[in-house]
Chains A and B, each alone.
Chain A
């Protein structure tokens, strides 16, 4: 079967999803990221790898943080970065996604970092580039609909590997709004590919997708049951807009059942780490004592995220 992410030589040409990525490609990205981590700690935080390349951040959906981390990563690789606020310009004027892309290719873009509310938009873009014979232009998915957020998944794997070294004995709990979370989907795919012993999905019935069991995870509706003896706890952001619907009674009720407190965290292993993709809602999905506590690795995740995005762009641009 044709894998749209790989070129004819089996090398990574676009990063669209963790699904379909061979294990050795994931490991190569993580290994490369550890070299880039050192670059960001230097006096001159820059390597000349992408000198003269143009990276276009094309965000059809707002996300200051993700866009900024991609921008920092590209700049540390010496690329020229162009941020396009397409929601307020071309799209608002009625231009289609592919027309926007064709225009940017005509401006000699080398790489697109794309976020789109529609699942599959980065795939559409990658297959369009192939069709017009521009396989030399690369696409990075920075989040598409509810589908995938592969760089977040990869940086989560980098974080876990950094603290836990090996995946084979790990029990990882993912807690919260898995239904709407592209991060959760990417994490589950990555954890299964890397051979984690057990992945648990914890949340209320209304926030777990019906197909979740097919993804090879253990479903827990009870937080205590799900956290017991786990090595890694990944908390997901509860999007405020979900509160207004019929999915949840109230933020307070949610915190009572699924918010991570020190007391609940004690059920996990004593050396368990707590992760969160940010931005956090303190007092909704995570208590401040935990977020600022010794087991939280939420800020290191941000630092690792730059190195992982540098690795992804560095590898793509060379293929």
Chain B
């Protein structure tokens, strides 16, 4: 791992990216498509997509804590939010929504959990950013921003006081 500071990158406006993501999805959208957001960043993005795409179905929320493969190392510390899939996933096309696609392990866990609710017709993946360093054979169907970041860097999506989505970049020691 490098000790030199990483070159600064310009962080895009996450709200504009949500609009871009919506436009990427729009041509492929089917009348019975359902959105499922992954806690917590993915849920924020899914709520925006629901509004931008004018969907009248509820969105699903998923917390993959019970499906993670790093449970042995990390345990159940973070506050786990209940998953809520308020619709029948059987034979429906689903779009899984997350903020950051990185190792792919969260996506793997989310797909596993979705299958415990039934057998969807298809699952696609929509993310705001693909930051590289995949450890599993997973790629996004819809993604407005691709960037390769060092593993020492953490890209964090958060909401500010006005409920606007903003990116920040943290460096791990």
Contacts and interface: CB of A to CB of B under 8 A. Distances in A.
A76 to B, nearest CB: 10
Contacts of B65: 35
A31 B79 contact: yes
Interface string A5-47: 0000001000000000000000010011011111100111011
Given A48-B112, A314-B76, A315-B75, A38 B66 contact: no
Interface residues on A, range: 20 to 34
Contacts of A11: 75, 77
A319 interface: yes
A236 B116 CA distance: 38
Contacts, number: 52
- Chain B interface size, as a band, is 20 to 34
A35 B75 contact: no
A318 interface: yes
Contact of B76 (A37, A42, A318): A318
A38 B112 contact: no
28 contacts: A31-B80, A32-B76, A35-B66, A35-B80, A35-B83, A38-B83, A39-B66, A42-B116, A43-B116, A43-B117, A43-B118, A44-B115, A44-B116, A46-B116, A47-B66, A47-B67, A47-B113, A47-B116, A48-B67, A49-B66, A49-B71, A49-B76, A314-B76, A315-B76, A318-B71, A318-B74, A318-B75, A318-B77
Given A38-B82, A44-B117, A318-B71, 7 more contacts: A11-B75, A31-B80, A32-B80, A34-B82, A39-B66, A42-B116, A315-B76
Interface of A: 11, 28, 31-32, 34-39, 42-44, 46-49, 314-315, 318-319
